[in-house]
Amino acid sequence: MSVEYNKEHPIPVPALHPDNQGFWEGVERQELVLQRCKGCGTWSHPPRPMCPKCRSQEREWSPASGKGTVYSWVTYREAPHPGFKAPYSVVLVELEEGVRLVSNLVGVGPEEIAIGMPVEVVFDQVNDETLLPKFRKAG
């Protein structure tokens, strides 16, 4: 089961700003890229203007493995927005790079989700304008 959308209501879409633009440009290319500090190599997500470790403002967008594990999840039994159809699950994926990404699973029902489940990124065209990084069960 994946997230189903109510086509009669637009879903909230990501707001672009200078700090996250590189992330969403990567998604448009169907590539998961993450912000990385040019000074010390620390990965950051969500993107931010300054490295949390060394405070450098020199950053770059680096390709991520797209692999991780489910760190936590929640299943909505009632949709919090009219654009979504319940039930659906939101997962917090811990990527191999050590950062966490909020997303959804594709092809995995709520009863199958488990902490530590290995997952890999896929890109889901949720409407005409919006492509989102989501995750499927890996190997």
Selected binder of Zn ion within 33, 51, 70, 101 (CB under 5 A): 51
Residue length of the chain? 139
The span from the CA of 25 to the CA of 28, in Å, is 5
Minimum distance from CB of 41 to Zn ion (Å)? Answer: 7
Provide the phi-psi class of 40: left if phi over 0, else alpha when psi is between -120 and 50, else beta: alpha
Helix (H) or strand (E) holding 23: helix 21-28
| Binding region for Zn ion (CB under 5 A) out of 13-21, 41-49, 66-74, 102-110 | 41-49
37 near Zn ion (CB under 5 A): yes
Could you give the C-alpha distances from 5 to 11, 72, 132, in angstroms and in order?
8, 22, 13
Nearest distance from C-beta of residue 99 to Zn ion, angstroms? 13
- Among residues 48, 53, 81, 85, the one that binds Zn ion under rule CB under 5 A: 53
Using rule CB under 5 A, residue 40 touches Zn ion:
yes
19/120 with CB nearer Zn ion? 19
The smaller minimum CB distance to Zn ion, of residues 98 and 118, is found at 98
Q: Which of 20, 42, 69, 130 binds Zn ion (CB under 5 A)?
A: 42
Q: What would the two tokens of residue 87 be?
A: 């039930």
User: Can you spell out the DSSP letters for 89-134?
Assistant: EEEEEEETTS-EEEE-BSS--GGG--TT-EEEEEEEE-SSS-EEEE
Q: How far is the CB of 58 from Zn ion (least distance, A)?
A: 8
Q: Given the rule CB under 5 A, which residues bind Zn ion?
A: 37, 39-40, 42, 51, 53-54, 56
